[in-house]
Each structure stands twice: as C-alpha cells, then as structure tokens.
Amino acid sequence: MVKSLNHDRVARNGYMNLRCHHKPGCPDWVHLDRPGGDFDFFNKPEEIYWRRHIWEEIHPGAPIPPSLSGICCAQFAVSRDRIRQIPIERFVHYRRWLLETTMDDQFSGRIFEYIWHYIFTGHEVYCPAMNTCYCDGYGFCFGGRKKFEEYFEKMDARNTRNEELRGFTEKEDKAREDGKTVTWTEKETKRMQQLSKEIEKMDQEMEKSRNEAKARGNDPNARLEETESWDSSDIWKYAAQSG
C-alpha cells in the first residue's frame, strides 16, 4: 500500500496517517476528564495516563481539548513544509519530555500516538473519511462511502465464515497429531461444504470489487469525487432530484 501512497495528498494536507481505518482512535476517543469508573482498560489503556497535567506538560498554554481523536499507531507521512512550520524548540521540548517523564515507555509512546495529528495539524480531532483515505490516499476508489462500507461488511462476513471453518480444520489437525481421525456428521459435512463455497464466492466478489476500485482510482474525475472538498458551489448536484 505504501508504494501506492499519493504524495500529492500528503503535500496538500501536510499530514496523513497511513492507516485509514478509524478503530482504534476515532471518533471521540481519549477524554482527559473521564471518571475513573468509566475507563475502558482493555481498549483504551493509554487513557488512564491522559490527565490534565500531562497535556499541560506537553503543550503548556494550549487549551484543554474536550477530546483527542486520531487514527492510531503512529504510522504517518508529513510534508517538509509542515515540519518546517513548527518551531524546532517544540520538537526539542517533546524529546525532553519523553526522556524525562517517569512514565513507562509503553505508555509515553501511546501518549504520542494520539497527538501526532495535533502536532502536525493543530486539530484535536482528526478522523478523515475512510473511503477518502483509500481513494485519494492510495487510489482504491469504491465509489463513495456506502459502497466502501458494503465492501468491508462483506469482508467481515467472509472472515466470520472463515473462523467457523477454521474450527473444523483445527479439530482435524489436532486429531491427526494424535493419530486419530474425525468422523463428521452429515450436518457438519454439509456445513463445511457450504462455508467453503460461500467463502470462495465472496473472495471472487471482493477481488472484483478491488479491481474495479483500483481502475476507478486511475480516473482523476472519479478520484476527485471522493476527495475532501471545502467548496459548496456544486454540492446541490448530489441532492436527490424531485419528480
């Protein structure tokens, strides 16, 4: 995917998280004032370290944000111009904080995962549309958010079936390791056959959708249709037509 990265998007926006999927990180993710009983220790372990004093240490003088939301995992591209817009003293300050904090590296790193977008965009919440990220960012244009969502819903359904089928194959593998054989019931045999056929069919459909999305991404006009726009001059052409 990185080979397909649209450098024009990075230059235009200044910053781009290379990950398109919102979870984890978007939307409405980290709250600096969340009550202790509401913490999600499994999905958001870093949030317990995100207190007001941490924000004030890292960004002294900056307003306390109501929330911090940005796509996770600190894999991003940033333009040279955007980097040069930020005083070098700020980067020195960030480095010093990381070196001097008593927080474990595991969590100080997670703290920064959720502020890179703030550092390079100035926005506390930065959650670009996933279909736009795929289309303008990598050239895979599914034809709008609805069709994009349909593709990934199909992928989820395919993966659910594959997990069920894996349960059968793992049982067979375990029996083989023990020098035994598994005798399936007629119902189980039919179910395995059904799952295999459905997975094969969905794989073919998804491959067709991906190829179409890639071809659509080679069309500048189609690509423009899924790129962010702050111009409302032609917005009404997308409205439902009466009569």
- Phi then psi for residue 128, to 5 deg, are -60, 150
The pLDDT of residue 3 is 86
Q: What's the Cα-to-Cα distance from 221 to each of 8, 10, 133, 213, rounded to whole Å?
A: 15, 19, 16, 13
Give, in degrees to the nearest 5, the angle at Cα 226 between 142 and 86.
Answer: 125
- Please identify which residue in the block is written with the tokens 């109501």: 66
Whether the CB-CB separation of 75 and 18 falls below 8 Å is answered with yes
Domain boundaries of the chain, sorted by first residue: 2-128, 140-227
Q: What is the pLDDT tens value at each position of the chain, 243 positions in all?
A: 788 999 999 999 999 999 999 999 998 888 888 887 887 878 887 788 888 899 999 999 999 998 999 998 899 999 999 999 999 999 999 999 999 999 999 889 989 999 999 999 999 999 999 999 999 999 999 999 999 999 999 999 999 999 999 999 999 999 988 898 889 999 999 999 999 999 999 999 999 999 999 999 999 999 999 998 766 556 556 565 655
Give, in degrees to the nearest 5, the angle at Cα 116 between 82 and 22.
Answer: 115
- Phi then psi for residue 33, to 5 deg, are -115, 20
Q: What's the Cα-to-Cα distance from 232 to each of 13, 21, 236, 237, rounded to whole Å?
A: 19, 26, 8, 10
* Stated pTM of the model: 0.85
* Nearest residue to 69 via CA among 13, 23, 107: 23
Whether the CB-CB separation of 139 and 214 falls below 8 Å is answered with yes
Whether the CB-CB separation of 30 and 47 falls below 8 Å is answered with yes
The beta strands (E) that lie in the chain are given as 15-17, 69-70, 76-78, 125-126
- Return the DSSP state at 124: S
- Return the DSSP state at 49: G
